[in-house]
Amino acid sequence: MPSQSTNSRPKWIIPAALAAVVAVVVAGCIAAFTFGWFGLGGGTSTAAAPTSTPSGALPTEQVAALEAQLESGDPAQLSVALALDESQLTPEMTSGFGTSDLVFDTAAAVQYEHAWDVPVTVTTEAGDTSEWIATIIDTEDGLVLGDTRAAE
């Protein structure tokens, strides 16, 4: 039976431990960079501005499906498209979406990784048109209309 000696210690332990420490530190740096979260306890930390890139990745067929859901005026479909409970839908929302024509300009979308700002033209039943920027979010359940703001 071979005698036990320190040489029998697995030689990968120390490098592996070192690698683990380095990995944690690197992960921390990545996380902090990712969240822009330095100094939550106050002080003079600075939030990084969002970076955006022109998008070619907005799935146009899913946008079309979202558009159809919104324009249907059907509370069940509308609640999915807005990620709201049906109980949160107001009559104005149901009738407004159901009687308006929405045209998403997907070619002009600006991507924020898994969210997009998309210009939208809204034409109401009375024929009034208005320009908006819609924030569409890619969720686990598909595209959702997250928010809108008037186009400047």
Residue 20, amino acid: A
Tell me the angle at which helices 60-72 and 75-82 cross, rounded to the nearest 10 degrees.
130
Start-to-end CA distance of the chain, whole Å, equals 83
d(CA 35, CA 94): 36
d(CA 44, CA 2): 62
Q: Which of 2, 41, 56, 127 binds other proteins (CB under 8 A)?
A: 41
- Looking at residues 70 to 129 of the shown chain, list those that interact with other proteins (rule: CB under 8 A): 82-84, 88, 90, 92-93, 96-97, 100, 112-115, 117, 120, 122
* Residue 17 is a binding residue for other proteins (CB under 8 A): yes
d(CA 70, CA 21): 50
**Residue 4 or residue 34: which is nearer to other proteins going by CB?**
34
**Contact set with other proteins (CB under 8 A):** 11, 14-15, 17-18, 21, 24-25, 27-45, 47-48, 50-52, 82-84, 88, 90, 92-93, 96-97, 100, 112-115, 117, 120, 122, 130, 132-133, 135, 137-141, 144-149
